[in-house]
Amino acid sequence: MSKQTQRKSMDYVKKEYKRTRTMPANWYLSSYEYKFNITHMQPFLKKLKEKKLVANKCSGCNRVFFPPRLVCGKCLVKPDRWVDIRDTARVATYAIAYLKDENSEVQEKPMVLVHHDGADTSSIAELAPGVDVKDTYISMPIKAHWKDNPEGGLMDIEYYDLMDDDAEDLNESK
């Protein structure tokens, strides 16, 4: 990121420094393992197979975590209740990434944070391929698009479809 930045940004007052020798080194993250307890994810993954969404809820602060969380940081307890969540959602916020595809052409790709109705957290997701990125706006209503045969994984929701927005203040929020 940073190196590109300098190449493409504007000229600035530069000073040259003497180059001394360099000593190489590496950091192999491939020799690391990351351990996670995903026990609390199981009810959620199981329900995905039925095209249903569940989230866990903290009894202390009543926040609903979707996807489920191990610990509620606000209360420092494990969430202990399960609640159903609708598959309708809103765009919490978005950004547009410019990524090179196989032909090195830059593609505009919207990255959205999806806030499901009834949940208190947002998660990162993709919009339907046909959505024009320029039309994306904050709090745009969307709906989960399920895979034909859900397998109980996070990819079961392939992407999010747009919903008709009949709110009267649509033009203002746009």
Partner 1 sequence: MDKVGIVGYNQVKCYSDANYGRYEMIFEAVRGAIDNAGLKKKDITTVISATNDYYDGRTISNCFTVEVGGGYMADESKVEMDGAHAMLYGLMRILSGNHKLAVIWGGSMPSCYPYHSARLYETDPTWERPNAYVNDITSSGFQMRAYMEKYGLSKEDIAKVAVKNKKNAAKNPLALEESQNPNISISDVLEAEIYADPVTELMVAPPCDSVAAVLLAPERQAVKITDKPVWITGVGWNQETYYLGERDLSQSTSMEHAAKAAYDMAGISNPRNDLDVAELFEVCAHEELIFTEALGLVEKGKGPQLNTEINGDFPINPSGGALGGNPPCATGLIRIIEAVKQIRGEAGQYQVGDVKRAVASGQIGMCAQNNILYVLEGEN
Partner 2 sequence: MGRQVAIVSAGYSEHASKRSDVSMPELVNEAIEDCLAKVPSVELKDIDAFVNGNMPAFEGSNIPELWMTDWMGARNKPLMRVTTGGTTGGSVAISGYYTVTAGIPGIDTVLAIAFEQQSQGDTSVGLASVAYGEISILNSLGISYDQLNRLLSAGAAIGVAAYQATTYMSKANITEEDLARVVVQNRRNAAKTWWAHLKMPDLTIADVLDTPYVQYPLRYGMVCPASDGAVAMLFTTEEKAKDMCDIPVYVNGVASVANETAVLGYDGSGSAQLDPSEQLGAMKSADLAYSQAGISFPRKEIDYAEVYAPFPNQELMWVEKLGLFEETTAPEMYETGVTAHKGELPVNCSGGVNSTNAIAASAMERPSEAALQIMGKASNQVPKTVHTSIGSGWGGSLNLITLMAMSDEPKRKWK
Partner 3 sequence: MSEKIIEKNKGLVKADFGFWVGLYMDKFYDTFEQKKIIGNKCQECGAVFVPPRNICGICNIKLPLDQNWIDVSDEGILINYTRTAYKVTDRRARKAKKLNDIGMVQLEGSDTAIVYPLIDFKEDDLKTGMKVKVKWKDNPTGGPSDIEGFIKG
Which residues of the shown chain bind partner 2 in the complex (CB under 8 A)? 1-6, 8-15, 17-20, 22, 25-27, 29, 34, 36-38, 41, 45, 63, 65-70, 73, 92-99, 108-109, 111, 113, 115, 119-124, 126, 133, 137-138, 151-156
Mapping DSSP to helix (H, G, I), strand (E, B) and coil, where does residue 21 land?
coil
Token digits for 46? Answer: 């199981």
Q: Which residue number, 141 or 152, has a Cβ lying nearer to partner 3?
A: 152
Nearest to 82 by CA among 54, 59, 63: 54
- Binding string, residues 137-166; x marks residues near partner 3 by CB under 8 A: ------------------------------
**Contact with partner 3 (CB under 8 A) among 2, 4, 9, 37:** 37
Q: Which residues in the 19-48 window bind partner 1 by CB under 8 A?
A: 23-25, 27-29, 31-38
Cα gap 46→116, rounded to integer Å: 19
Q: Which partner from the list partner 3, partner 2, partner 1, none does 42 bind, CB cut-off 5 to 8 Å by kind?
A: partner 3
| One-letter identity of residue 80 | D
Mapping DSSP to helix (H, G, I), strand (E, B) and coil, where does residue 1 land?
coil
Q: Which residue number, 43 or 141, has a Cβ lying nearer to partner 3?
A: 43
Cβ-count burial 108-130 (b if 16+ within 10 Å, e if not): eebbbbbbbebbebbbebbbeee
Token digits for 2? Answer: 């940073």
Token digits for 123? Answer: 């998660």
Point out which residues bind partner 3 (CB under 8 A): 18, 20-39, 42
Point out which residues bind partner 1 (CB under 8 A): 23-25, 27-29, 31-38, 70-78
